[in-house]
């Protein structure tokens, strides 16, 4: 397999969008932002660089678990998955969009606390979920339709996603 795997540390930039397709497959889409910080030696202080925003798609059990975990805008996250660069035309110009087909999403525990509540699934279902999710993700990224004619697209809200630093630790509830 020659996929480009990527891990991004950032924040949820817009409220996640959860849907159940007519096939019964669950899909969670979210927008994450990542703002690199660099130490400016001339000023003697840290400064934020321009943020980068990515669309993240989560399929099946990962989507369901994210829905149950109540992740929301502003939450610090770590996302790992396959990097996809989508090319499309808008206003007569070719544009590019970076997307991550997530394999793992979690709260960034360097910025808060989480309590894990395990979900109950069999290993057979997990492998079947992964196979079906891979198939759906490939069709979704290429804009194909499902076998029942359902268009495999979703809308993700664009958000400014400015992160606010606080001295108070955040508390999260995570479901895996």
CATH number for the domain that contains residue 80: 2.40.50.140
pTM, rounded to two decimals: 0.64
For residue 111, is it within any domain?
A: yes
Q: Considering the domain boundaries, does residue 159 fall inside one?
A: no
Is residue 162 situated within a structural domain? no
Residue 134 lies in a domain: yes
Q: Would you mind telling me the total number of residues written for the chain in this entry?
A: 176
Q: Does 121 map to a domain?
A: yes
What's the domain count of the chain?
1
Residue 133 backbone dihedrals phi, psi, to 5 degrees: -65, -40
Whether 75 is covered by a domain: the verdict is: yes
Q: What are 101-155's pLDDT values in tens digits? A: 999 999 999 998 888 888 776 455 566 666 776 777 776 666 655 444 444 444 3
Contact 172, 107 (CB under 8 A): yes
**Higher-scoring residue by pLDDT: 142, 167:** 142
Query: Within a domain: residue 11?
Result: yes
Higher pLDDT: 64 or 139? It is 64
Host H or E run for residue 134: helix 123-142
Q: What is the pLDDT of residue 81?
A: 97
Q: Considering the domain boundaries, does residue 161 fall inside one?
A: no
Q: Which domain holds residue 29?
A: 5-153+169-175
């Amino acid at each position: 397999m020659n996929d480009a795997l990527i891990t991004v540390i950032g924040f949820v930039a817009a409220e996640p969008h959860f849907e159940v397709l007519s096939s019964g497959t669950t899909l969670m889409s979210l927008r994450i932002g990542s703002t690199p910080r660099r130490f400016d030696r001339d000023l003697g202080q840290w400064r934020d660089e321009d943020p980068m925003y990515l669309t993240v798609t989560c399929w099946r059990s990962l989507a369901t678990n994210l829905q149950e975990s109540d992740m929301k805008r502003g939450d610090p996250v770590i996302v790992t998955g396959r990097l996809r660069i989508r090319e499309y035309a808008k206003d007569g110009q070719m544009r590019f969009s970076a997307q991550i087909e997530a394999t793992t999403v979690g709260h960034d525990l360097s910025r808060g606390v989480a309590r894990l509540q395990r979900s109950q699934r069999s290993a057979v279902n997990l492998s079947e979920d992964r196979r079906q999710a891979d198939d759906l993700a490939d069709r979704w990224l290429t804009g194909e339709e499902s076998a029942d004619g359902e268009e495999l697209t979703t809308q993700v809200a664009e958000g400014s996603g400015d992160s606010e630093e606080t001295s108070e630790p955040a508390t999260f509830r995570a479901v895996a």
